[in-house]
Amino acid sequence: MKDIIQDPDPVLRQAAAAVPVSEITTKKIQGIVAAMQEALANEEDGVAIAAPQIGVSMRLFVVSKKVLKDAPADMVFINPELIRLGKQKKFVHEGCLSVRWKYGLVKRATTATVRAYNMQGNQFQMSARGLLAQVFQHETDHLDGILFIDSAKEIEDIPPHHEPHTV
């Protein structure tokens, strides 16, 4: 199993490279996604993971089926772009699998729309509100080399017994 990379590893601060659309269905990309899904599944409080978090500087993230209403499986977003953020913003509690046990308040749009490719290489668009909108923004930040602690307020250490969801 791949370990989840921890801050201050430099891969977390790099802008990730786009996945060539012609390579989406290759064994290489499928293997990276499988490794991400396994790493995420092993983190009880994790709800999403970006490729840089397993040391792969590529533009893709996986959202756990725990966050997706009635989803039978995790959802994969390849070359995601935030194409719309709602005007309304609010502070939300946030953590990160790569900044373990630190949590803070981050100002996020309450709604977000992302355009990405799925595992079959088909482009799709998805709008969300609440936690899923927050996840879209957090994971897209990862792909741009941004960590939640860069903008979080009231950062605190919370040991592993009482942690909220970690994106």
139 is catalytic: yes
Cα-based angle 65, 58, 13 (whole degrees, multiple of 5): 100
- Catalytic residue among 139, 154, 156, 163, which? 139
Strand pairing partners for 49?
Answer: 62
CB 148 within 8 A of CB 50: no
> Residues with Cβ < 8 Å from 71, sequence gap 6 or more?
65
Which residues are identified as catalytic? 139
